[in-house]
C-alpha cells in the first residue's frame, strides 16, 4: 500500500525564486547566450515577480524559441516510421503518475484475479516486429513494466534464482506466471528482425536488468547491445530532482542512478534520447534544474542525446489524481513555455519533439512554432494491425503527416532514429509511405481497408 502524500512532502526546498529579471533572461535567450537555471525559471514563469503567466511575455519567449529553431534546424519537421511493442504491463514499482502498469501478482498462475494487462513471449514479439518490418517500419520502440520474472540473461537468472531473498530484489521465477516474458536479451534479439532499429531499455529497465548483482550499467548495456539494442529511450527521467521523485516515484531509481545509466549506455556506443515529464507536483525551479542536468549530461556523453522530449503529465486514471494530490496537468501556456525553454536552454541538443499523443493534433502542431521540430512517429502497434478488441491504439500515417506538416508551411521529412538519414517527402507525389526501413519501398504502412473502421464499429 502506498504511503499517502502529505502537505509536508509537497513543501520543496527548490522554489521558483531568482535574482534574475525576466527581461535580462529574455535578452540572453534572444542573443543565443547560454542560459542559467535562474534564466530558465524566469522564462518558464514569464517573470517570478508577477503572479501567473503574462501573455505578452509568453509570446516573446515562444518567438525567441521559434527563431532559434529556424536557425538550428531550419524548416524541416521530422518523423520516424516506428512500431510500439511493449512487452509487459506487469510492474510493482508503483509510480504515482502511472496509468500503464498492472500489479504483477495479477499475472501469476495461482491468482484468482483476472489481469487487465498483457505479457508477450519473445516469439510473439518477433512475430509482431517482423510484420511491422514487412510494412516498412524503421524502428521498434519497446518500454515495459518491470516484470518480476525478467532477468537480463541466463547468467543473471542464475544469480537471481540463487538469491537468499528473491523478494528483496523483486524477483519471482517465470514458472510463477501464466506467461513467461523470457529474458531482456531474449526479447531484444527477438525484436531485432532484419536490421530494424531497436530503441529500448530505459535506465529503469537497465536497473532492473542488473538487480541483485554488482554489475555496472556498462556491463548490462553492452550485453544488450550485443543482443541487438541500438538506442536507449531516456524515459523514466520524470523530473531529475530527488525531492520530486521522492513524491511521485519513490520506488524508482534516483536522479544519480538515471544519469549513471544513461552515461554508461553512451559509453558502450548506444545513442540516447532524453525526456521530462512535467505538470504534476513539481514547480518551474525543478523543470529548470532538470534541463540543466540533461544539458550537462549531453556534454559528458559527447552529443549522444539526439532529441529531447517534453511529456506533459496526463493525470486521468493516475494515483496522483485519484488521491487528490494534483487536480490536473499543465496548462497550455505551461506546455508551450516548456517546449520553448527546452529549445532555448538545451543549446547542445538539436531536436525538440512535439508529442501529438500528449498534446493532441492541433496543439501538437502549434508546438512546432514554439521551438519543436520533430513530430514523433507513426506508432504502429499490434492492436492496430490486428484490430484486436475495441481499442485500436494511436497511429499516424505518412499521409496524415504530410497533410499536417504542410498545413503549417513546413517541410515533411522521414528520418532515422538518430536523424542521420533523412528523406524530404514531396507532397505532390502520393501515395506516401516509408522508405528508410530495412524492407520499406514507399508503400503506405496500412492499406486503405486496414485504416478504415470495421463495418460493425
Positions in the binding site for ligand SF4 (CB under 6 A): 91, 93-95, 98, 100-101, 145-146, 204, 249
Nearest-approach distance from CB 77 to ligand SF4, in angstroms? 29
Query: Cis omega (within 30 of 0) on the bond before 431?
Result: yes
Euclidean distance between CA atoms 448 and 437, whole angstroms: 20
Question: Taking the chain, what is the end-to-end CA distance rounded to the nearest angstrom?
Answer: 40
Burial of 328 (0-12, 13-18, 19+ CB in 10 A): exposed
Residue 95: CB minimum distance to ligand SF4, A? 3
Least Å distance between CB 99 and ligand SF4?
8
Shortest approach of ligand SF4 to residue 87 CB, angstroms? 11
At 57 the three-state DSSP class reads helix
Least CB distance to ligand SF4 at residue 33 (A): 36
What are the Cα distances from residue 87, in Å, to 84, 251, 270, 392, 430?
10, 21, 21, 17, 34
Q: How far is the CB of 184 from ligand SF4 (least distance, A)?
A: 15
Distance CA 262, CA 217 (A): 9
Closer residue to ligand SF4, CB minimum distance, 95 or 372: 95
CB neighbour class for 89 (10 Å; exposed up to 12, middle 13-18, buried from 19): buried
Closest CA to 377 of 202, 184, 188, 136: 136
Cβ proximity to ligand SF4, 5 vs 372, nearer residue = 5
DSSP 329-345: ---HHHHHHHHHHHHHH
Cβ distance to ligand SF4 smaller for residue 100 or 118: 100
Residues 6+ apart with CB under 8 A from 107: 88, 90, 115, 117, 119, 147, 177, 178, 179
User: What does DSSP assign to residue 37?
Assistant: H
**172 or 295: CB nearest ligand SF4:** 172
Whichever of 28 and 290 has its CB closer to ligand SF4, that residue is 290
Residue 248 beta carbon to ligand SF4: minimum distance, rounded to whole angstroms: 9
Look up cell 485504416; give the residue: 451
Query: Which residues, including other chains, have CB under 8 Å from residue 296's CB and lie 6 or more apart?
Result: none
Question: Is 98 or 446 the residue whose CB approaches ligand SF4 more closely?
Answer: 98
**Secondary structure (3-state) at 108:** strand
Q: Which is nearer to ligand SF4, 393 or 442 (CB)?
A: 393
**How many residues can be counted in the chain?**
457
Shortest separation between residue 250's beta carbon and ligand SF4, angstroms: 10
| Least distance CB 252 / ligand SF4 (angstroms) | 6
If the CB atoms of residues 100 and 392 are measured against ligand SF4, the closer one turns out to be: 100
CB nearer to ligand SF4: give 15 or 357: 357
Amino acid at each position: 500500500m502506498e504511503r499517502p502524500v502529505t502537505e509536508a512532502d509537497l513543501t520543496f526546498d527548490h522554489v521558483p525564486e531568482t535574482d534574475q529579471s525576466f527581461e535580462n533572461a529574455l535578452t540572453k535567450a534572444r542573443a543565443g547566450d547560454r542560459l542559467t537555471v535562474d534564466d530558465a525559471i524566469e522564462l518558464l514563469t514569464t517573470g517570478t515577480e508577477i503572479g501567473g503567466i503574462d501573455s505578452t511575455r509568453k509570446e516573446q519567449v515562444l518567438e525567441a524559441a521559434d527563431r532559434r529553431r529556424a536557425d538550428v534546424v531550419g524548416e524541416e519537421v521530422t518523423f520516424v516510421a516506428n512500431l510500439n511493442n511493449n512487452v509487459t504491463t506487469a510492474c510493482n514499482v508503483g509510480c504515482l503518475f502511472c496509468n500503464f502498469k498492472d500489479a504483477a501478482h495479477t499475472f501469476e498462475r495461482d491468482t484468482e484475479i483476472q489481469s487487465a494487462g498483457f505479457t508477450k513471449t519473445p516469439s510473439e514479439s518477433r512475430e509482431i516486429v517482423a510484420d511491422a518490418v514487412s510494412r516498412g517500419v524503421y524502428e521498434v520502440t519497446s518500454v515495459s513494466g518491470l516484470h518480476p520474472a525478467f532477468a537480463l540473461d541466463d547468467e543473471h537468472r542464475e544469480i537471481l534464482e540463487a538469491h537468499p531473498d528473491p523478494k528483496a530484489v523483486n524477483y519471482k521465477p517465470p514458472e510463477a506466471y501464466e506467461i513467461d516474458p523470457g529474458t531482456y536479451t531474449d526479447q531484444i534479439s527477438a525484436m531485432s528482425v532484419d536490421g530494424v532499429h531497436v530503441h529500448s531499455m530505459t535506465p529503469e529497465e537497465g536497473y532492473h536488468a542488473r538487480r541483485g548483482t554488482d554489475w555496472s550499467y556498462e556491463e548490462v548495456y553492452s550485453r544488450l547491445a550485443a543482443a541487438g539494442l541500438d538506442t536507449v529511450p531516456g524515459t523514466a527521467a520524470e523530473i531529475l530532482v530527488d525531492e520530486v521523485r521522492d513524491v511521485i516515484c519513490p520506488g524508482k531509481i534516483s536522479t544519480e542512478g538515471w544519469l549513471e545509466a544513461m552515461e554508461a549506455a553512451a559509453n558502450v556506443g548506444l545513442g540516447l534520447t532524453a525526456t521530462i515529464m512535467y505538470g504534476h507536483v513539481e514547480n518551474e525551479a525543478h523543470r529548470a534544474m532538470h534541463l540543466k542536468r540533461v544539458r550537462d549530461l549531453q556534454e559528458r556523453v559527447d552529443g549522444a542525446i539526439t532529441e529531447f522530449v517534453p511529456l506533459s503529465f496526463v493525470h486521468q486514471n493516475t494515483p496522483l489524481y485519484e488521491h487528490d494530490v494534483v487536480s490536473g496537468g499543465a496548462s497550455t501556456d505551461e506546455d508551450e513555455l516548456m517546449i520553448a525553454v527546452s529549445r532555448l536552454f538545451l543549446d547542445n541538443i538539436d531536436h525538440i519533439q512535439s508529442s501529438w499523443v500528449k498534446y493532441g493534433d492541433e496543439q501538437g502542431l502549434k508546438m512546432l512554432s514554439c521551438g519543436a521540430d520533430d513530430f514523433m512517429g507513426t506508432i504502429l502497434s499490434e492492436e492496430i494491425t490486428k484490430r484486436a478488441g475495441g481499442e485500436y491504439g494511436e497511429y499516424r500515417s505518412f499521409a496524415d503527416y504530410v497533410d499536417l506538416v504542410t498545413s503549417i508551411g513546413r517541410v515533411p521529412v522521414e528520418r532515422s532514429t538518430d536523424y542521420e538519414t533523412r528523406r524530404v517527402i514531396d507532397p505532390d507525389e502520393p501515395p506516401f509511405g516509408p522508405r528508410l526501413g530495412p524492407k520499406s519501398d514507399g508503400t503506405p504502412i496500412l492499406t486503405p481497408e486496414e485504416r478504415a473502421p470495421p463495418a460493425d464499429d
